[in-house]
Structure 1
Amino acid sequence: MPTAPAAFLRFLALLIFAALPVAVQAQSCDGTLPPPGPDGRVAGHFPYGDASAQDIVPAPAGFGLKPYCKVHHAMLADLQRLLDAARADPAVGGELRGLSCHREVARQRNVFCRDRSMSAAERAISVAPAGYSEHATGYAIDFAVRPARGCPDAEACMAASPAARWLIANARRFGFEMSFPAGNRQRVKWEPWHWRWVGTGPGEPGATQARAVFAKARAQFPADPGIRDPLKVVVKSQPPVPMVPVAAPPAPVRKKGRRR
């Protein structure tokens, strides 16, 4: 017969073992999500790892609504040019601010787990699970408009604002494209506030790396508005010139003269 201390330790071990699955699920809060598909997506979202800490720098002063707004250093110059152009254009009718910038995987987990009233699969329609958010790359920004004029941040009503219309018309000039357009086949919520940077062209510094990160997403589910590079036709060798045989000219017809 076990002694009292041994019985107590056994009971404690069983209690911990029984509570373990609940603790693990509470920590991850995504246990009901489907496994990754053939292309690596989970609930519509592609996998993205954390950007290197040395690549993440503070956003332009005054841009972030929160002081810890940071972005990938490669996009910093284009972001500053976009903000300068927006401030100089009276059609914007307000100020573009940074609602959410770089979010490392650990913080993305907190964002995804924030609303537990819905299932993980339902949350994934509008919030990427940890490890599957474009924000982890440092290339993505959620824009906000100030003054908000009654439209909450990260809501579709933003698309009707002059600032959002300006973004749709001009963001491509600065290397930004809308990741999740309306009715996208990726089955992610329309997010007119969410834009990713891929550079204005493949030759721009840092653009090649950014485009490699989003290669699958851009190929399978093109952004709209998106950046479309002009096609370049490269001729490596001169094709042979086809030889068309030329028909011989018809023989002249001799007219018969009158006999005299």
Structure 2
Amino acid sequence: MNPLFKFLVGACGWSIGLAPGLALAMTVPLCPTQNAEAGTDGRVLGHLPYGQGAEADLLPAPPGFAIGGPCRLHRAAMVDLIRLLQAADTVPGVAGTLRGVSCFRPIEYQRQVFCAQIGQGQRFANAAERARVAAPPAYSEHATGYTLDFAVRPSPDCPDVDACIIWHPAGRWLLAHARDFGFELSFPAGNAQGVSWEPWHWRWVGVSPKAPGAAAARAVFARAAAKYPAIPGVYLKPPPVVPTLPRPGFPLYWPRVPGL
């Protein structure tokens, strides 16, 4: 069936309130040699679709925060990121160690990030494998301008974007306090989206619905928050990280957060 026709039929099905099963899936081109079927719920390989944030709304992070390239976030999120970093700098063992390894990523840049590691001789054989650890283009929270990946410096025993970040004081501090500054964990362990556990990846939604800019951010992530809660009541046992390092000496659980 023609992809455009499939899309139109599916869209009409949703617009008139038909059951999801009646909306037809469509083929989505991801990379030159990789396509995927969008499910009847709109997801591709487990990831929800996201649009790209407006350039005019983006601000650069404080000097010294970004690693490997510029870090830009939505101006509303940037206010709370600065507050978060200021608070972290008052904590012994955490002060001065938090960095940003990836912030706003345009959709076409996300395509490069996603596709570069797929194929013969690469880390991933196909798009389905790659999607376990990275979102396809147009399906990444990074394109919204509200999301960033934290890193720790120095960190000689833990690579960036790895679950071992929680073995460092800064990673544990984020798990305990990032929500105080409006950030929530997008992909907890065992999340229903089927995305790998990412304790470094946080999206900004504001400390309350009435915080400046929070309503718009929460609207962007409304579906994700409703169907795939960012912070479960009980923190599931995480997957193994780096088995050669000693086990962390702290409890791996989340306290129940009121209202979630």
Q: Do both share a fold (TM > 0.5)?
A: yes
* Counterpart position of 1:69: 71
* Counterpart position of 1:30: 34
AA aligned to 1:206 is: G
CA distance in 2, matches of 1:173, 1:126: 26
Which residue of 165, 175, 181 corresponds with 1:158? 165
* Counterpart position of 1:136: 143
Trace 1:8-19 onto structure 2 (pairs within 5 A). Answer: none
**Structure having the larger proportion of residues in helix:** 1
| Corresponding residue SS for 2:89 | helix
Q: How many residues align?
A: 205
| Corresponding residue SS for 1:50 | coil
* Counterpart position of 2:127: 120
AA aligned to 1:127 is: A
Which residue of 50, 53, 64 corresponds with 1:51? 53
Q: CA deviation at 1:160?
A: 1.4
AA aligned to 2:185 is: M
Higher relative contact order (CA 8 A, sep 6+): 1
Q: CA deviation at 1:161?
A: 1.2
Using the size of structure 1 for normalisation, the TM-score is 0.74
Indicate conservation of the 8 Å contact 2:61/2:78, yes or no: yes
Specify every segment of 5 or more residues in structure 2 that has no aligned partner in the other structure, as ranges: 1-28, 234-255
* Counterpart position of 1:244: none
Report the RMSD for the aligned CA atoms in angstroms: 2.0
- Percent identity, aligned pairs only? 55
Is 2:175 aligned against 1:171? no
Q: CA deviation at 1:91?
A: 4.0
Closer, same or farther: CA 30–223 of 1 in aligned 2, 3 Å = same
Max Rg structure: 1
Using the size of structure 2 for normalisation, the TM-score is 0.74
Specify every segment of 5 or more residues in structure 1 that has no aligned partner in the other structure, as ranges: 1-24, 232-260
AA aligned to 1:212 is: A
* Counterpart position of 1:81: 83
Q: 4+ residue runs of structure 1 moved beyond 4 angstroms?
A: 225-231
Closer, same or farther: CA 218–230 of 1 in aligned 2, 3 Å = closer
AA aligned to 2:178 is: A
AA aligned to 1:89 is: V
CA distance in 2, matches of 1:27, 1:162: 38
* Counterpart position of 2:191: 184
Q: CA deviation at 1:67?
A: 4.0
